[in-house]
Amino acid sequence: MQDDKKVFVDLKFFDVPETVGRTIARLSDYGATFATIHGNQALMEKAVENKNNLKILAVTALTSLDRGDLDDLGFDCDVKDLVISRAKRAFEAGCDGIVSSGLEVPYIREYVDNKLIAVTPGIRPVANDDDQKRVVDVATAFKSGSDYIVVGRPIKNAENRYEAATNIQKIIRSSFEAV
3-state secondary structure of 57: strand
> Domains of the chain by range and CATH?
8-151 (3.20.20.70)
Positions marked catalytic: 12
The per-residue pLDDT for range 4-13, each reduced to its tens digit, is: 788 899 999 9
pLDDT at 179: 56
Q: How far apart are CA 4 and CA 26, in angstroms?
A: 22
Distance, CA of 36 to CA of 100 (rounded, Å): 11
Claim: this prediction has a pTM higher than 0.95: no
Q: Provide the 10 A C-beta neighbour count for residue 159.
A: 6
- pLDDT of the residue at 1: 47
User: Using one digit for the tens of pLDDT, what is the confidence trace for 27-47?
Assistant: 988 989 999 998 789 999 999
Q: Give the SS3 label for residue 128.
A: coil
34-38 β-sheet, strand order = 8-13, 34-38, 55-59, 97-99, 117-120, 148-149
User: Which secondary structure element, helix H or strand E, spans residue 149, and what is its range?
Assistant: strand 148-149
